[in-house]
Structure 1
Amino acid sequence: MVSNPSVSLPPHGGILLLDKDEGWTSHDAVAKSRRAFGTRKVGHAGTLDPMATGLLVLGAGPATRLLTHLVGLDKTYTTTIRLGIATVTDDREGEPTAVADSAAVAAVLANPAQIAAEVLALTGDIEQAPSAVSAIKVDGQRAYDRVRAGEAVELKRRPVTIHEFEIAAPRAATADDGTAVIDIDATVRCSTGTYIRALARDLGAALGIGGHLIALRRTAVGPFAVTDAGTIEQLMSGARAEVLEPARVATALFPELRFDAQQTLDLGHGKRVNVGDVPDAKLAAATNPDGVLIGLVEVSRGRTRVVTNFPTVPNATEAGGAA
Structure 2
Amino acid sequence: MTNSPAVPAVPAVLPAQGAILLVDKAEGWTSHDVVAKSRRALGTRKVGHAGTLDPMATGLLVLGAGPSTRLLTHLVGLDKTYLTTIRLGSATVTDDREGDRISTADPAAVEALTDDRIARAAAELTGAIEQAPSAVSAIKVDGQRAYDRVRAGETVELKKRPVTVYAFELGELVRTTDADGAPVVDIEATVRCSTGTYIRALARDLGAALGVGGHLTALRRTRVGPFDVADAVETAALAQGDPLPLLAPTVVATTLFPRLDLTAEQAVDLGNGKKLEFTEAGDAVPDAPLVAAIAPDERLVGLVELRRGRARVVTNFPVATEPSA
Structure 2-normalised TM-score? 0.94
- Number of residue-to-residue matches in the alignment: 311
- Deviation string 1:25-65 (CA, Å, 9 cap, x unpaired) is 00000000000011001000000000000000000011000
Please tell me whether the aligned partners of residues 254 and 284 of structure 1 are also in contact (alpha carbons under 8 angstroms): yes
- How far apart, CA to CA, are the structure 2 residues paired with 1:235 and 1:229? 11
Alignment-derived partner of residue 11 in structure 1: 16
- Deviation string 1:264-302 (CA, Å, 9 cap, x unpaired) is 011111111111132111000001001111100000111
1:166 matched to 2:173? The reply is no
Please tell me whether the aligned partners of residues 7 and 235 of structure 1 are also in contact (alpha carbons under 8 angstroms): no
- How far apart, CA to CA, are the structure 2 residues paired with 1:79 and 1:16? 24
- Deviation string 1:100-120 (CA, Å, 9 cap, x unpaired) is 021110011xx3211111000
1:290 matched to 2:293? The reply is no
Please tell me whether the aligned partners of residues 173 and 182 of structure 1 are also in contact (alpha carbons under 8 angstroms): yes
Alignment-derived partner of residue 201 in structure 1: 204
- How far apart, CA to CA, are the structure 1 residues paired with 2:241 and 2:150? 40
1:140 matched to 2:143? The reply is yes
Alignment-derived partner of residue 27 in structure 2: 22
Alignment-derived partner of residue 68 in structure 2: 63
- How far apart, CA to CA, are the structure 2 residues paired with 1:175 and 1:13? 47
2:288 alignment partner, one of 281, 285, 293: 281
Structure 1 residue ranges (4+ consecutive) displaced by more than 4 angstroms after TM superposition: none
1:95 alignment partner, one of 100, 124, 135: 100
Q: Which amino acid aligns with 2:211?
A: G
- How far apart, CA to CA, are the structure 2 residues paired with 1:285 and 1:7? 25
- SS of the equivalent of 2:306 reads strand
- SS of the equivalent of 1:290 reads coil
- SS of the equivalent of 1:169 reads strand
- Give 1:246 deviation, angstroms: 0.2
2:131 alignment partner, one of 128, 132, 139: 128
Pairing of 1:149-298 with structure 2 (within 5 A): 149-277=152-280, 278-298=285-305
- SS of the equivalent of 1:10 reads coil
Please tell me whether the aligned partners of residues 15 and 60 of structure 1 are also in contact (alpha carbons under 8 angstroms): yes
**RMSD between aligned residues:** 1.0
- How far apart, CA to CA, are the structure 1 residues paired with 2:36 and 2:321? 21
Gaps in structure 1 of 5+ consecutive residues = 1-5
Pairing of 1:69-80 with structure 2 (within 5 A): 69-80=74-85
- Deviation string 1:109-154 (CA, Å, 9 cap, x unpaired) is xx32111110000000000000000000000000000000000000
1:315 matched to 2:321? The reply is yes
Please tell me whether the aligned partners of residues 280 and 302 of structure 1 are also in contact (alpha carbons under 8 angstroms): yes
- SS of the equivalent of 1:155 reads coil
Gaps in structure 2 of 5+ consecutive residues = 1-10
- Give 1:7 deviation, angstroms: 2.1
